[in-house]
Amino acid sequence: MNDASIGKTRFRVGGMDCASCATKIENAVTRLPGITEVGISVSAGTMTVSHRGPAPSAEISRQVKALGYSVASLGAARTAEPKAKAKAHEHGPNCSHDHDHSGHDHSGHAHDDHAGHDHKHDHDDHAGHDHSGHDHGPAAAESADTGHNHFDLDDGPWWKTRKARMTIACGAALIAAYAIGQLMPQLGHWAFLVALAVGLIPVARRAYAGAITGTPFSIETLMTIAAVGAVFIGATEEAAMVVLLFLIGELLEGVAARRARASIRGLADLVPKTALVEDGGTTREVPAESLALGSVILIRPGDRVAADGTVVEGSSTLDEAPVTGESVPKLKSVGDQVFAGTINTDAVLKVRVTATSADNTIARVIQLVEEAQESKAPTERFIDRFSRYYTPAVLVVGALVAVMPPLFAGGDWQEWIYKGLAILLIGCPCALVISTPAAIAAGLSAGARRGLLLKGGAVLEGMRRVTSVALDKTGTLTEGKPKVTDIVAVGRPEAKVLSLAAALETGSSHPLALAILGRAKADGVPIPPAAAAKAVAGKGVTGKVGGEEVFLASPKAADEMATLSGELKDQIAAFNAEGKTVSVLLADGRTIGLLAMRDEPRPDAIAALARLKEEGIATVMLTGDNEATARAIGKGLGISVRAGLLPDDKQRIVRELQQQGQIVAKVGDGINDAPALAAADFGVAMGGGTDVALETADAAILHGRVGDIPDMIALSKSVMGNITQNITIALGLKAVFLVTTIAGITGLWPAILADTGATVLVTANAMRLLAWRGR
C-alpha cells in the first residue's frame, strides 16, 4: 500500500448512525473503479477513501447519496508514516538524547548541552491536514433527497432530523389508523396499510439501494420482507407497529451516535473564537483561526488561551483541567508552553503563537481520534465477518421455520409463517454489529479527553495484554530538565548562596542556569544585579555582585582557584554518586557553597510504577545515560535499570523481551526511542514528544504523566469488558426471544424489540465509557 500513486480523500457523511450503515456505504464505494480501501468512522461521521489517481469524488457522492446519506468532501487526507519506516530514524550513537549528566566538567556552560532536548508538543505534523470538518463547508448542505440530513443532525436539535420527521409521520399515521379503525372498522385494514407504507417505503428504498450496491442482506431487507409478509398473512396492524418500533430504534441510535460525536467535538469548543493580538503597543480582537505563527496574544485572567504557544511575558497559574483532566492548576512563566483551551486564572500573560488553529493540540487530538475510529479493531473485524454469514443464515432459518412444520408436521401455515417472519426480525444483526465500534469509539473519546491518544481500535483492544513496560528515563520517567536538589552553604545563609548564584545566571538559557533561577524564584529569593558577568570557557561563570567577585565553577575549576576541603570533596563525591551535577560558588576566592542539580523523577512516577507492579506488569528503564545517574534514579523509583544504551540497543532489548514471550509496551519521547517504539508491540510517545516519536508510536500520552501508562492499560480493560457485556446483551436477548417466538409466547412486535431494544441497550452501555476518568 505504500504506492506513491495512491491518494486519500476524506468525506463527511450525514445520517450514518450504526455499523450496518457503514457496511453499506463501504460496500457501495469499494465497488467503484480505482478505489483501493475505504475506512469509515460512524462515531465521527467521516469516511477516508484510498484511490489510485485523482479522487472520483462525483461518483463517490452519487453512490453514497443513492443509499440515502448526505456527503461532503473534506479534501486530501494526511497519510501517517507506517510503523516499518520508523527504522530509518536509527541515527546511531550521536542520537542518544539521554545525555550523561554526572561527574562531568560542568563548567562554563560548556556542559553537554541538554538544551537540545526540546520537550515541546510539536507532534506529527498534520499541517497539510484539512480540519474543515468542523465547519461543514457549503458542500455540506447538499443532502440527498432520501438522505437524512446529517449536518442538521449534528448541529440542530434531534427532533428536527430527517429520521425524527419520518418516525413522527409514521407514528401519527398509525394513531390515525387506530382512530379510523375504531370509527369505521371496514376501512381499518386500509388505514393500517397506509400507515405501514408511510414508514416502510423509505426503508424499502434503502434496502433496494443497498442490494444493488453490494449489501443484499441488510437490516432494511429483513425488515421489508417481514413487513410485506405480515401483510399477506393479514397481520397489517402488527406490521405497521413493527415498522414504527424499527424507526424509533433507528432514531435512538442516531441520538446516541450524536452523543458520542459531541463528546469528542466538544473538545473543539474549548478553544475561544477570538483572541487579543498585540500589535505595535495596541491590542485588537481578531478571530482565533486567523492567528499567524509568531504573533503575540494577550491573555487576561479568566480568559481561555486561544492558541498553543510559549509565554513571552508574565507569570500566572493556568487551569488545564478542560484539556488534560489535570485538577491542580500549573504555574506558567516565561519560556513555558501553554495549550489552546486552558484557562488563565490570576495574572496577565503574553504568549507567542507556535501553532495555527488547524494544527494546535486540540485540533490534532480530534484529528487523531477521528482517524483512529476509522480503523477497525480485531473484534469488530471478526463480528463483521460473522454478520456477513449470520444475516443470510437468519433468512434461511426463518424460511425453514415458516415451511417445515406445515409441510411435514401438519402445522398451521398462517401460524408458522408468522413465526418465521418474527425470526427474521429477531435475527437483525444491528445490536451485534454496533456492540464493538460503539464501545471502541466511546473509549477512544474518553481517553482523548484525558490526553491519552490511541491510534485505533486494535491498539485500544490490545493494550490490556501488555506484560512488560520499558520506559525511557529523560523526559519520560523524569521531567527532562534539571532542578536544584541540594544547597550546601559554607559560612553564609543558604538563601544568600542561591541569591548570588542566580545573579550570575540571570539571562542564561542553559538548563542548569534555568534550574538555579527556577529554584530562586520558587524560594522567593531576591536576585541582585550582576556586573560584567561572563562565561569562562570550560570553567564556569564569573561576575561582580554587590562589590564581591563571584565565581560559579565546576568542582575541578574551583579546586584550582581555592583548594576545597576534604569534607567538601566528600560531599561532592556523594552528590555525584547520586547522579547529581555539582557547581561550586566562590566569593572573592573563598568557597561559600555548593549547588547540586539533577533531572528529578516526575511527581507521580513512583505511584505509577507501583500500580503497574500491582497489575503484575514488569517494568524496566532503558536509558542512554551513565550507570551512576541511572542507578540513582532507578533505585529511588524501584525499577530495574539498563543504562549506557544506544538507540539500537534499546531496540535489541525490546526484541529480547518479546522472544521471552512478553507483550512489550515501550514508552519514550525522543528520536533515539523511535527504533524501539517501532519494534515494541505497543509504542507509546510521551509528553507530545518529537515528530518522529509520535509518528512511529501506536499511542501518545500528551501530558507527561507516568500514571497515564497504567491508566491506558486500565482503559483497554474497561473497553474490552464493555464489549463482552454488549455481545452478551445482543446475543442473549435474541436467544430468549427466539425460544419464546417458537413457543408461541411472543409475536412480531416483541421480536423487533429484541433487536431495537438490544441495540439501544448496547449503545447506552457503550456510552457509559464516556464517563471514564482513569485513576
Distance CA 494, CA 200 (A): 84
What's 144-171 look like in SS3? CCCCECHHHHHHCCHHHCHHHHHHHHHH
Three cell numbers at 314?
508574565
Distance CA 587, CA 528 (A): 15
Please, which residues have CB within 8 angstroms of residue 514's CB and are 6 or more apart in sequence? 335, 481, 508
**Could you tell me if 647 and 88 are in contact, meaning their C-beta atoms sit under 8 angstroms apart?**
no
Four-point Cα dihedral 344, 348, 354, 357, nearest 10: 50
Four-point Cα dihedral 413, 416, 420, 425, nearest 10: 120
Of the residues 17, 98, 303, 472, only one is catalytic, namely 472
Residue 330 pairs with which residues in a beta bridge? 318
**Could you tell me if 580 and 102 are in contact, meaning their C-beta atoms sit under 8 angstroms apart?**
yes
**3-state SS assignment for residue 689:** coil
Would you give the end-to-end CA distance of the chain in angstroms?
A: 40
Measured in degrees and rounded to the nearest 5, phi and psi for residue 736 equal -60, -50
Distance CA 405, CA 412 (A): 8
Listing DSSP states for 586-637 in one string gives EETTEEEEEEEEE-PBPTTHHHHHHHHHHTT-EEEEE-SS-HHHHHHHHHHH
708 given a catalytic annotation: no
| Cα–Cα separations (whole angstroms), residue 171 to 157, 158, 191, 242, 248 | 19, 16, 13, 11, 9
**Could you tell me if 188 and 177 are in contact, meaning their C-beta atoms sit under 8 angstroms apart?**
yes
* Cα 464 → chain centroid: 16
Please, which residues have CB within 8 angstroms of residue 625's CB and are 6 or more apart in sequence? 98, 99, 100, 101, 473, 474, 579, 643, 644
Distance CA 215, CA 195 (A): 27
Residues catalogued as catalytic: 472
